[in-house]
């Protein structure tokens, strides 16, 4: 087990230190694909080429569903079973998954490690609070908003490993769209919209995402940290290492 002290010491030279990128986009928007392309995350890994670590409650829930033998095709489950597994209370799997995710994020934050926080973005207030909490702890923040048409979102949802009922996809898509303008105002210059409605061929996708990486993500991750709290922390850690 890596001690927190060692984690903090190594974090001073981490290229992604004190950087947090929020992902927003409803089910079926293709966030997982987009983030792998933008951040260079190899398949089956949880960390990007820039050192940013993924935080995703969907992965925890998916793991729990498989572990306890429920499978991931939620749209084929009886309504009462679906509500029990994914709603608040009930079996507790959803709540347990969220707790695991929160604990993982807390450890990353204690280590000042860079993070990619994957969520739908349907709850603006939650994102606003998380952003403030991270910034109060020294982080610079950014948002990537993955946008698709509702029709494309529904088609992609059907092809997912964890299929959701069409109504939930529609409701989530609608809520996320309503928050688009508010997110732009909240993150200001540190905001990128990625249109992922088209089904691109590999070469087209490579060209598109290479341009987006150069345009925004690399600039944010590689730029010196702006947050004064983080600058002070880093200076103190360097002094302690001498």
Q: DSSP states of 161-178 as a string?
A: SS---HHHHHHHHHHHHH
Domain assignment of residue 204, yes or no: yes
- Cα separation, 18 vs 110, in Å, equals 10
pLDDT average per 10 residues of sequence, the chain (242 residues): 45 79 86 78 64 73 58 56 58 68 86 87 92 96 90 85 83 92 94 82 67 75 91 86 69
Contact 26, 178 (CB under 8 A): no
Domain assignment of residue 5, yes or no: no
Domain assignment of residue 7, yes or no: no
Domain assignment of residue 110, yes or no: yes
Domain assignment of residue 3, yes or no: no
Domain assignment of residue 148, yes or no: yes
pTM of the model: 0.77
Alpha helical stretches, state H, the chain: 4-11, 31-39, 57-67, 79-86, 93-110, 124-136, 150-158, 166-187, 202-212, 218-222, 228-241
Domain assignment of residue 18, yes or no: no
CATH of the domain at 210: 3.40.50.300
Q: How many domains is the chain built from?
A: 1
pLDDT (0 to 100) of residue 61: 55
Find the domain containing 113 and state its range: 24-241
Domain assignment of residue 233, yes or no: yes
pLDDT (0 to 100) of residue 95: 67
């Amino acid at each position: 087990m890596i001690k927190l002290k060692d984690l903090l010491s190594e974090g001073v030279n981490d290229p992604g230190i004190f950087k947090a990128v929020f992902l927003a986009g409803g089910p079926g928007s293709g966030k997982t694909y987009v983030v792998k392309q933008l951040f260079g995350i190899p398949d089956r890994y949880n960390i990007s080429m820039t050192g940013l670590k993924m935080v995703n409650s969907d992965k925890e829930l998916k793991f729990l569903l498989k572990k306890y033998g429920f499978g991931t095709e939620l749209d084929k489950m009886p309504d009462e079973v679906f509500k029990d597994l994914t709603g608040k209370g009930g079996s507790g799997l959803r709540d347990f998954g969220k707790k695991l995710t929160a604990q993982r994020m807390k450890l990353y934050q204690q280590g000042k490690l860079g993070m990619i926080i994957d969520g739908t973005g349907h709850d603006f207030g939650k994102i606003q609070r998380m952003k403030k909490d991270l910034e109060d702890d020294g982080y610079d923040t950014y948002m990537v908003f993955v946008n698709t048409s509702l029709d494309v979102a529904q088609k992609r949802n059907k092809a997912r490993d964890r299929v959701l009922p069409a109504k939930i996809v529609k409701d989530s898509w609608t809520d996320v769209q309503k928050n688009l303008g508010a997110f732009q105002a909240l993150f200001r210059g540190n905001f990128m919209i990625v249109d992922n409605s088209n089904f691109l061929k590999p070469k087209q996708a490579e060209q598109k995402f290479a341009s987006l990486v150069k345009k925004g993500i690399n600039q944010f991750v590689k730029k010196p940290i702006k947050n004064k709290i983080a600058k002070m922390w880093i200076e103190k850690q360097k002094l302690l290492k001498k």
